[in-house]
Amino acid sequence: MKGIKKSPTAESLYLEYSHQTEGCIFPLHTSVALFLLSYCDCKVFNVYLVFTEENTDTSLLREALSQDVDIQVISRQDVPPIVQNCCLPAVVEKSDVFCRAGLAVVLRHIIQKSYEAKPSRKEILELLGFKKTCLKACAEVSEWTRLCELTIPLAVENFLQESSDQSPAIPEEILQLERKLSEPVRVHNDDKLRRQKLKQQKTAGVEPPSGKGKAKGKAGAQKPSKELSGSSKSLELKVAFSKLTMQDTADTNREPSHIRKAKASALPPLEHVFAEGLYFTLADIVLLPCVHHFLVIICKKYYEKLEQFPLLTSWYQRIQEVPKVKTAASKWGIHFLCLPELLNSESKPHLNSDEVTAVEEPSDPLFTGGPRPTMTKLTETGIEAMFSPHPCPSWTLDWNSLPAAVSPKEGELWFACWCKILQSIWTHFRAIFPYSKCLCLYLIFQ
């Protein structure tokens, strides 16, 4: 450990060390970072464990450190001045003049550096999620980042400490995560996937749940782990694991008319496969060590409470099927538990009427955004906003007079939506180029 020389060209990663229990290093932020380093097989950092106290016992530390990552153990006084006042983990560039601090920021940086070192491992970059935004928003503004980065690790650490003396209450943050896993999944190709699922259910003779009851049907994604490694019938699992293996899902033919014309409110909801939805992301990496240590205590001392977390235990079992996860986790003392399958067709999680109402879709199924949430927030902060009428209400596009090639009628389902979008764009272009209707249309459709 101490004999390792610092590479002059590598960035330095500083991780806090308080203690180790049963081969696992604490605090959990450090355990998460080390797990990610092993999962990415990252060798581009000089890694340092920083004592939180001078009299920290390190006699058993060597056994807890994996040979997979070269690590030096230092005291707080030995870290560079730029890191002295930072909350660890932190990454310092080789010049010692630029520092990144905070769990989410550091983990995202590790992923980016790992991918730069091994561009062939595209699954590493996929950890950043859709548009590379996973845990990108800071904890001060994002409830999800705050839950993953701060509140769940802290709550689990407190739970582990309290469980040694008494029977503690289940952390509210864990219950919140269970509720999150019961919420319908929203992804960028949401409508397409839900129509495929509707077709799949009708082919199998399964009555699809109503879109308004989407919060109740969560058993579809909770399959035994044996099915996960094979050809699962679940659309969500098929999409999720094709992403993990970097395989494109086969292009399907155009959906039948009754599937294309189905209203959005009649489509079945998409169910969670992983923490953020369908895909394995950095959020799963962060949550795994935390949930594992929580479940270890639950199974040892409070086994009867395990049934309160059917979705969490299903997620815990499913994540073991992700390639390289078991190997990376075992290097840092995370040995997966064998849990019972708590979720079956007779034991779906049920929400009360208030919770179901809270997640119902808007009355207009095509309307998923708009000014209402924004206006509410403005009003709550004392800002009164006024709507103004459309500047040119008489300007409309005569779609029948335009060439068929530029008409959005193909597919018909989104015809009205696309007409409104193009109408809005055309209005703005015409306001800029008032004397050239042809130029406006040319610029829009180019």
Please state whether beta strands 45-51 and 11-17 pair in parallel, antiparallel, or not at all (unpaired). Answer: parallel
Three-state SS at 73 = strand
Sign of CA dihedral 374, 375, 380, 385: positive
In angstroms, the CA 192 to CA 156 distance is: 38
- Asked if residues 405 and 366 have their Cβ atoms less than 8 Å apart, the reply is no
pLDDT at position 216 is: 41
Enumerate the domain spans of the chain: 1-120, 185-279+351-358, 399-445
Q: Over pLDDT 90: what percentage of the chain?
A: 23
Q: Is the pLDDT of residue 353 over 90?
A: no
pLDDT tens-digit series, residues 300-344: 888 888 888 899 999 999 899 888 999 999 888 888 888 766 544
Question: What mean pLDDT is predicted for residues 290-307?
Answer: 89
pTM for the full predicted model: 0.67
Three-state SS at 126 = helix
CATH code 3.40.30 for 1-120: yes
Query: Which of residues 235 and 24 earns the better pLDDT score?
Result: 24
